[in-house]
Amino acid sequence: MIKRPTEQAQSWISAALSEGDCAIDATVGNGHDTLFLARCVGDRGRVIGFDVQQVAIDAAQKLLLENQIDAGIVDFHCCSHGVLANHVKTPVAAVMFNLGYLPGADHSLITTKDETLVALQAAAQLLQPGGLITVVCYPGHPGGDEEMSGVIAWATALDGNWQVVKYEKIGTLKKAPVLLAIEKKGSQL
């Protein structure tokens, strides 16, 4: 009944998206969120994906193909989400961040606080009213705690046009992932 942060992120994002919308996957990884976003926006929509590793983008493209998703819906950029603003110029309805490292790959290739905060700022500028940003943070790996603290501080400082929710399991021995949902107030366009 209680969802994992990654599942809860998808649940909230699905409520923010309609067919034909544009959405960003800021950390493509193995493509599970990219596939989810592509299904939400449908054939008339658009998804823009970022990852620093070509191996991640290759895995995501394979997953889309296996699931009969039209490749034309998704634009992949093999670069940091820190330069997101250079590649996306139109408003978006949702942005997903799933921080940390690519499962099964080099664990030293992780998202970093500085790049993540630049990307979040760009995402916030691009988000249309009624839109949603989700961020799954992993405080358990080196640098993850600091990155999460930076993300929470950034979200806490947003003005009254925003609403932020923190979702986390309590009472765990290991540091559990934390989901932030960041909504830009106002009705959808």
Ligand X SMILES: C[S@@+](CC[C@H](N)C(=O)[O-])C[C@H]1O[C@@H](n2cnc3c(N)ncnc32)[C@H](O)[C@@H]1O
Binding site for ligand X (CB under 6 A): 27, 29-33, 50-53, 56, 80-82, 98, 100-102, 109-111, 115
Q: Cβ of residue 115: shortest distance to ligand X, in angstroms?
A: 4
Q: Cβ of residue 88: shortest distance to ligand X, in angstroms?
A: 13
Q: Which two tokens stand for residue 114?
A: 């500085």
DSSP 17-52: --TT-EEEES--TTSHHHHHHHHHH-TT-EEEEE-S
Q: Cβ of residue 89: shortest distance to ligand X, in angstroms?
A: 19
Q: Which is nearer to ligand X, 59 or 127 (CB)?
A: 59
DSSP 173-188: SSPPPEEEEEEE-S--
Residue nearest to ligand X (CB): 29
Alpha-helical segments (H) within the chain: 5-16, 32-41, 54-66, 84-87, 113-126, 144-156
Q: Which is nearer to ligand X, 101 or 127 (CB)?
A: 101
Q: Cβ of residue 117: shortest distance to ligand X, in angstroms?
A: 11
Q: Which is nearer to ligand X, 3 or 185 (CB)?
A: 3
Strand, coil or helix: 128: strand
Q: Which two tokens stand for residue 150?
A: 């930076």
Q: β-strand 127-137 against 162-168: which pairing, if any?
A: unpaired
Q: Cβ of residue 171: shortest distance to ligand X, in angstroms?
A: 24
DSSP 4: P
Q: Which is nearer to ligand X, 67 or 161 (CB)?
A: 67
Q: Which is nearer to ligand X, 28 or 161 (CB)?
A: 28
